[in-house]
Structure 1
Amino acid sequence: MIIFPVLILVSLVLYIYYKVMIVRTKDPLTQDYLNSKSKIFLGSFIFFFGINQYMFYETKLSLFIGILFLALGIFQTKEGWKAAKHYRNEFQKHQASVQS
């Protein structure tokens, strides 16, 4: 199962990318939007890491830890998705008011 390590690596790289982009921008609205996007990829990293650990070890302890990681990953992704949707709409409103 090479798919889970690849997904873990991709989500980790995208998480770091968005965190670096937060430092590079000065606009608070853009920073909040990028932070919410990074939360999505942090949640996916935790989610896929939990699945990978269970599939690697296949013990009861890794099952419980994997379930905990799955729940945390889903929660983090869900909260990041809601925040990204909110800040995307706010950013579009901001851009529309600047152009008018």
Structure 2
Amino acid sequence: MFIFSIIIAISIVLYVYYKVAIIKSEDKLTQAYFNAKSRICLGSFVFFFGANQYLLYQTQISLFIGIIFLLLGGIQIYRGLKEVKHYRKEWKRLNP
């Protein structure tokens, strides 16, 4: 369970980093690109938090809540990956 704690901490730190980078940036494309990256970090936080809570408590209610967190986190990760793929080429072209 120690590895989940490390992944959770790293993902929340990266989430805050990208959100601050969005505030500092004035370019709309850069903001959208960083927002997609922050969505991936938020999704991984929720995903691994749900997995960690189920493995920690192993009760039926934590199983249901863990499944909900896994689904929500997976959806956020999937959507973030699609957005990053969409914005990456244009962002690299404009920001060499």
TM-score range, shorter chain: over 0.9
Q: Which runs of 4+ in 1 moved over 6 A?
A: none
Q: Deviations over 1:59-100 (max 9, x none)?
A: 00000000000000000000000001101112234358xxxx
Unpaired stretches in structure 1, ≥5 consecutive residues:
none
Percent identity reads 55
Partner secondary structure for residue 51 of structure 1: helix
Unaligned residue ranges in structure 2 (runs of 5+): none
Separation in structure 1 between the aligned mates of residue 17 and residue 59 of structure 2, nearest angstrom: 34
State how far apart, in whole Å, the 2-side matches of 1:48 and 1:91 are.
29
User: 1:10-89 counterparts in 2 under 5 A?
Assistant: 10-89=10-89
TM-score by length of 2: 0.95
CA distance in 2 between partners of 1:70 and 1:95 (Å): 34
1:70 & 1:50 partners in 2: Cα distance?
6
TM-score, normalised on structure 1?
Answer: 0.91
Aligned length: 96
Structure-2 separation of matches of 1:94 and 1:50: 38
The amino acid across from 2:38 in the alignment is S
Determine which structure has more spread, i.e. the larger CA radius of gyration.
1
1:47-67 Cα distance to aligned partner (Å, 9 max, x none):
000001001111000000000
Taking the aligned partners of 1:53 and 1:25, their CA distance within structure 2 comes to: 35
> What is the one-letter code of the residue matched to 1:41?
C
